[in-house]
Amino acid sequence: MDQALNIASISGAPAVARGVSRLFLRNQIVVQPEVSLRNNRRADLMGLSNKGEIIIVEIKCARADLLGDQKWPEYLEYCDRFFWAVPAGFDVSPLQNDAFIPERAGLIIADAYDAEIARPAALVPLAPARRKTETQRLARLAMRRLIGISDPDSALSGLDFD
């Protein structure tokens, strides 16, 4: 019962991230939250599929945040697929506008329990060298975070190798 209460208390971006993570895991895509990119941007979720595709998800829970986001196209050079993720009931009409490149950007509707792909993301393959670099960066980030969980006092857990 306590677990159900904790899950029910998750809202906003953490709830959307949890739902997207669950959807992706069922589809053999594993993600990391808050991934810094080499262009000084930070992806809300960045994942790797079983086919080696890199996926970035930008989470929006407020219309003003969505409409004011001018930096999101800079994520496209770091992923094969890009998704917007929003909570259920969010007005997605702006995402149909050409400025949000609907032919490239997918759309996921999510809550703390699950998510659904409302519009698939187009596959725009990265150059092999970029894919290798980003895959290695993502793997190293995941390993550093795992070290921090399993050994929080480790001197390595706080270092930035990239």
Strand-by-strand arrangement of the 81-87 sheet:
29-36, 42-49, 54-59, 81-87, 105-110, 115-119
Determine the pLDDT at residue 7. Answer: 65
Helix H or strand E segment including 47: strand 42-49
pLDDT digits (tens, 9 = 90+) for 75-102: 999 999 999 999 999 999 999 999 999 9
| Averages of pLDDT over each 10 residues, the chain, 162 residues | 60 94 97 96 97 97 92 96 96 94 96 96 97 96 92 66 54
CA separation for the pair 42, 46 (Å, rounded): 9
Global pTM value: 0.89
CA separation for the pair 66, 72 (Å, rounded): 10
Output the CA torsion sign for 81, 139, 86, 39.
negative
Question: Does any domain span residue 154?
Answer: no
| The two three-digit tokens of residue 97, written as one number | 């506008």
Instruction: Give the CATH number for residue 13.
Output: 3.40.1350
Question: Does any domain span residue 114?
Answer: yes
Question: Does any domain span residue 11?
Answer: yes
